[in-house]
Chain A
Amino acid sequence: MLLYLLRRILYTLPIAIGVSMVCFALIHLAPGDPLSAVIPEGASPEVIAQIKTAYGFDQPLPIQYFNWIWRAVQGDFGMSIMTRRPVLSEVGPAVVNTMILAVAAVTLGFGLGVGLGIAAGYTAGSPIDRVVTAISVSGVSVPHYWLGMVLIVIFAVNLGVLPAMGMGAQGSATFALDWVSLRHLILPAIAMSVIPAGIIARSVRGTVIEVLKQDYVQTLHAKGLPGRRVFVHVVKNAAPTVLAIMGLQLAQLLGGSILVETVFSWPGTGFLLNTAIFTRDLPILQGTILVLSMFFVAINLMVDLLQSVLDPRIKRA
């Protein structure tokens, strides 16, 4: 077991290095010079060479990569070209905000998905099952940024009960655990929760049907255990799969929040990325993508480890 955990962690290292290389390469994919936003117009070749040296762009690529990753590991992601502030001080708060939104959305999606999935699994083939299946297919098919707009139309424009933009009063960019902030969280969280809700409902339904067919459930029924107690067994057996899916969805939402954040002007990483793309602020772009993808790799690893701890049946070679 311990050996497996260790090996799984070791296996993640090369992936993480590969991911960082892709993030590094991104800047060099960009058309034009990565320094074009820094170099003043009409600068002489000497000045350009000077700036290049200052940013380390005169060195060969592998050395540039090692310098970059070495600084990044120490928390130095460079300076934003637009704000002249350290990238980390821009990315840090944004990651927190995105995390709040993603966790809220996954929690919501989890509740909805598990509830619907269990209802459908227990009544497989019935009209309830068919309705749930329709809901979950809609959930995975709907463009969530569009759903965000629909929610704005209903709750902000027509009913006027919930705010459509931002995170708190007067464009606040820090989340406080109060009513104002929570009200701002509701709509984007709902918009983002539909995909995990649909996926979780689908898999819970499948797992419940699968578990109910097992011999031990028959035995439990046969020995007269009340349905309520059998249900506990069903939940226990379905939990590892569902938890794994939930973790993976959380990871996807962290990286995929850009669209919903743009619709609701939520000051998270998506919003930051969007701004960085259109101002060609490459250090911010690179830093945000690196941080988010590392989170993605780490969450995937944790889900895997947690699953093998939770479910001793998973014997891995």
Chain B
Amino acid sequence: MVATTGGSIVSDAPLKGRRPVSRSFWATARRRLSQDKVALVCGSILLIILLAAIFAPLITPHDPYRTSMARRLLPIGDARHWLGTDELGRDLLTRLIYGGRMSLFMGFAPVVLATLIGGFLGIVAGYCGGAINMLIMRVTDVFYAFPSVLLAVAISGVLGAGLVNSLVSLTLVFTPPIARVAESVTTQIRNQDYVEAARATGASAWRIVFGHVLANVTGPILIYASSMISVAIVIASGLSFLGLGVSPPNAEWGLMLNTLRQSIYVAPMNAILPGVMIFITSMSMNLISDSLRASMDVKV
């Protein structure tokens, strides 16, 4: 009756026994993530889509560009074309798998670029303060003052359709919010006692930025950036859907939705299929981002 475990009133175990294992921030986050079932499931889904997209030529049964007038808009469940064919008779399953290449790239690349640029600008603004902060943050505010979809459409619309132009416009959309997060965290860190102490001991600005600021800013920025990816996937596909993104005959989910829209009365199920992929990907990314936030226990 003496041996009581957890929840006992006299819990002096930590004092006598082994020292509690102290884990680093990243180790704790990784541990929590690996125990999060939702994150694991969503991560697996994304990984499958990604691997399928990378190894598309090896696993797809058909040529994604081979058209056939005789086999247009075959229904889902066809013996040769499991998910049917599109309006030009191309195999839908094959094109959905190939489409993952462009769609995932357009979801991740702008956010990665925006994280690097926005993170850099935010840290510089936060660390330097004063006039430099003013300059950077006010310009950021101006771009932040546009509705995100409108800004993306406006820039893509003016520059013209194309992969690079979409990349530019989406990066411009996502840079300001990330710069804001980086700036506010950096400003907080800069005024901490330990940074003051580091400065007093003669640490250089580089050393403070790489040693203290970066270590604290990385978590919040990563979490914020991860929540942007699902938005980026939806907006990037939206640009293609409007005809402002990738150009035909490339396989991209938004563009496929666009061209299949004409056949919505003839083959409605085929027409909505690419959207399912966008939905699954963006939802998985959203849930992963939520798990990341929980695992790092940061409020952005």
Contact residues of A with B, CB < 8 Å?
14-16, 18-19, 21-22, 26-27, 29-31, 137-138, 140-143, 145-147, 149-150, 152-153, 157-158, 251-252, 254-256, 258-259, 262-263, 273-274, 276-278, 282, 285, 289, 292-293, 296-297, 300
Instruction: From B141, B147, B272, give the contact of A150 (CB < 8 A).
Output: B272
Known interface pairs A29-B155, A255-B147, A296-B147; 7 further A-B residue pairs with C-beta atoms within 8 A, sorted by A's residue number: A21-B142, A141-B234, A146-B257, A255-B150, A258-B153, A277-B244, A285-B157
**Is B271's beta carbon under 8 Å from chain A?**
yes
Instruction: From B148, B155, B269, give the contact of A26 (CB < 8 A).
Output: B155
> Which residues of A sit under 8 angstroms from B157, Cβ to Cβ?
273, 276-277, 285
Given contacts A18-B141, A152-B264, A251-B147, A145 and B241 within 8 Å (CB-CB): yes
> Which residues of B sit under 8 angstroms from A143, Cβ to Cβ?
234, 237-238, 254, 275, 278-279, 282
A256 near B143 with CB under 8 A, answer: no
**Is B286's beta carbon under 8 Å from chain A?**
yes
> Which residues of A sit under 8 angstroms from B254, Cβ to Cβ?
143
**Is B268's beta carbon under 8 Å from chain A?**
yes
**Is B138's beta carbon under 8 Å from chain A?**
yes
Given contacts A30-B158, A158-B268, A141 and B142 within 8 Å (CB-CB): no
> Which residues of A sit under 8 angstroms from B238, Cβ to Cβ?
143, 145, 259
**Is B27's beta carbon under 8 Å from chain A?**
no
Instruction: From A31, A146, A276, A293, give the contact of B272 (CB < 8 A).
Output: A146
Q: Which residue of B lies closest to A259 (CB)?
A: B238
Contact residues of B with A, CB < 8 Å?
138-139, 141-143, 145-151, 153-155, 157-160, 230, 234, 237-238, 241-244, 254, 257, 261, 264-265, 268-269, 271-272, 274-275, 278-279, 282-283, 285-287, 290
Given contacts A30-B158, A252-B147, A14 and B242 within 8 Å (CB-CB): no
> Which residues of A sit under 8 angstroms from B241, Cβ to Cβ?
145, 259, 262
> Which residues of A sit under 8 angstroms from B154, Cβ to Cβ?
26, 273, 285, 289
> Which residues of B sit under 8 angstroms from A274, Cβ to Cβ?
242
Q: Which residue of A lies closest to B254 (CB)?
A: A143
Given contacts A140-B286, A258-B242, A259-B241, A15 and B149 within 8 Å (CB-CB): no
Q: Count the A-B residue pairs with Cβ separation under 8 angstroms: how many?
A: 137
Q: Which residue of A lies closest to B237 (CB)?
A: A143
CA distance A48 to B283 in the complex (A): 52
A146 near B278 with CB under 8 A, answer: yes
Given contacts A146-B278, A157-B265, A31 and B283 within 8 Å (CB-CB): no
B145 near A19 with CB under 8 A, answer: yes
Q: Which residue of A lies closest to B150 (CB)?
A: A255
CA distance A153 to B159 in the complex (A): 33
> Which residues of A sit under 8 angstroms from B142, Cβ to Cβ?
15, 18-19, 21-22
Given contacts A259-B241, A273-B153, A153 and B272 within 8 Å (CB-CB): yes
Distance to closest chain A CB from B271 (angstroms): 7
Instruction: From B143, B271, B283, B290, give the contact of A22 (CB < 8 A).
Output: B143
B150 near A256 with CB under 8 A, answer: yes
CA distance A31 to B274 in the complex (A): 32
Q: Which residue of A lies closest to B139 (CB)?
A: A18
Q: Which residue of B lies closest to A289 (CB)?
A: B154
B271 near A149 with CB under 8 A, answer: yes
> Which residues of A sit under 8 angstroms from B139, Cβ to Cβ?
18
Q: Which residue of B lies closest to A31 (CB)?
A: B160
A137 near B138 with CB under 8 A, answer: no
Give the residue among A138, A259, A262 with the most B Cβ atoms within 10 A. A259
CA distance A146 to B260 in the complex (A): 11
Q: Which residue of B lies closest to A158 (CB)?
A: B268
CA distance A18 to B274 in the complex (A): 38
> Which residues of A sit under 8 angstroms from B158, Cβ to Cβ?
26-27, 29-30, 277, 282, 285
B275 near A137 with CB under 8 A, answer: no
B244 near A255 with CB under 8 A, answer: no
Given contacts A140-B286, A143-B279, A259-B241, A149 and B264 within 8 Å (CB-CB): yes
Q: Which residue of A lies closest to B290 (CB)?
A: A137
13 contacts between A and B (CB under 8 A): A14-B138, A18-B138, A18-B139, A22-B146, A30-B159, A142-B282, A146-B274, A158-B268, A252-B147, A255-B151, A258-B153, A273-B154, A273-B157
